[in-house]
Structure 1
Amino acid sequence: MSLTESFALYNGTYMPKVGLGVYKMNDTQEVVEAVQSALNVGYRHIDTASFYDNERGVGEALKQSEVPRDELFVTTKVWNDEQGYEETLQAFDRSMDKLGLDYLDLYLVHWPVPGKFADTWKALEKLYKDGKVKAIGVCNFMEHHLDELMQTAEVKPMVNQVEFHPRVYQKDLLSYCEAQGIQLEAWAPLGRGQYFDAPILEELSTKYDKSPAQVILRWHLEHDVIIIPKSSREKRQKENADLFDFKLTDDEIRKIDELHTGERIGAHPDEFDY
């Protein structure tokens, strides 16, 4: 049980359960060193996006690494102002040039831009069918977005990356994705640390000799949700990965579920300023 432990997507691609998120890391030595550190710790899953403006730094770190390409799982995303069929194909080429990769493991539609995401998805389907991407998916899609997409899609999304943590426990969306065979992935899985002092988290932290953050991350894994906590510091990267030597009971999982309030740290997909 380690950082190489994976979930199988419905097309047979294996996606590591724990990855490194690099949102708001500068496209300088900061992101290069963060990715290098994570790879040295044992991470094999790196999540970036064109919007993060640090794909070049991620690519440089991967290039300098001695980890074989086939052991890596690299994700990037098409941003809102790049959406549309031809625009997405061009955005993909720009991202691949910056990353310096011959193929991508996962390409995601960053937000469900009204009137555009269906055409954007057609471009992802082409990239997938052409063998340039091992898996394709979406971010921030609610059930109704997925319903709309699948009216015209030839390939079902393999992943849906959304805001998901105990305060935003999207139970219905999780159930929907499970029923559809779509793997749920959590961005900001720690909710930016805003409620680590919740009594249930402090209680379980003491019981398992783990930090509240580790308890929350383990909660995600118990729900079969992939996590990409962000950290540029090796010590924190190690802590975020040290999740495989304990399990929560069903009752403990339920108590953490009850922390749900719906208080988001990001925009609701239906209220995003597109």
Structure 2
Amino acid sequence: MGTRGELTSSRGQALAFCKTEARGKGENLPGLVFLGGFRSDMEGSKALFLENWAAERGRAFLRFDYSGHGASGGDFLDGSIGDWAADAREVIAAQTDGPQILIGSSMGGWISLLVARDDPDRVAGLVGIAAAPDFTEDSMWAGFDDAMRKTLLEEGQVALPSDYSDDPYIITRKLIEEGRTQLVLRDPLPLPMPVRLLHGTADADVAMSVPLRILDHAKAPDLRLTFVKGADHRMSGPAELALIGKTVHGVTQAVLER
């Protein structure tokens, strides 16, 4: 549906994206950008649902792959939160015009918060879906036992089982150590735009305490949190997808009313 393309980042990585242009009444509305999760890609169910949702309404829409993910170049094991946030900033700068509504899933929620904190003029609104800020420190590192920490520090990586793939997650020392420079729940987090957080009560990957921490920590005049009973981390069932669309519409209305 969208037009596929590729740009070369400042780090020399080929970043794949798919872009849908606005039309009709949608030309006067902020564009939508989907930011995917850790080891995910832009072909996931939420990204494709939102692309169709946006197209039906004439809205500009952008989805993309971070370096080392999906169709983009680079090795996943070379990447880090800061690298992927830089990828997001460069794709958004090059492929969108004006303030955008960011829709971040899991790790994409963390990256959306980084983009919104550092460049609020480019972010009209934000929707976090099972947002996972600071997970490298608060979930991964905090969950490692002494043996795993020793392996990570001495060998540079450690393997974790995955619920989503037969292959384990390889967690690198770089991911953990660089992640500490990107934390958003320790220092002030101003979010002057409308923010909506969606989180499933059956999320086994990101605890319900995480969105509550965002709610408590962020300096945000218009931030709302919705818990979805029984929804898991994927948040990709028909009811959850419909709620995501409804939430994006609500954020758009809040932006227009400001």
TM-score range, shorter chain: 0.3 to 0.5
TM-score (norm 1): 0.33
Q: Which has the higher strand share?
A: 2
Of structures 1 and 2, the one with the larger relative CO (CA 8 A, separation 6+) is 1
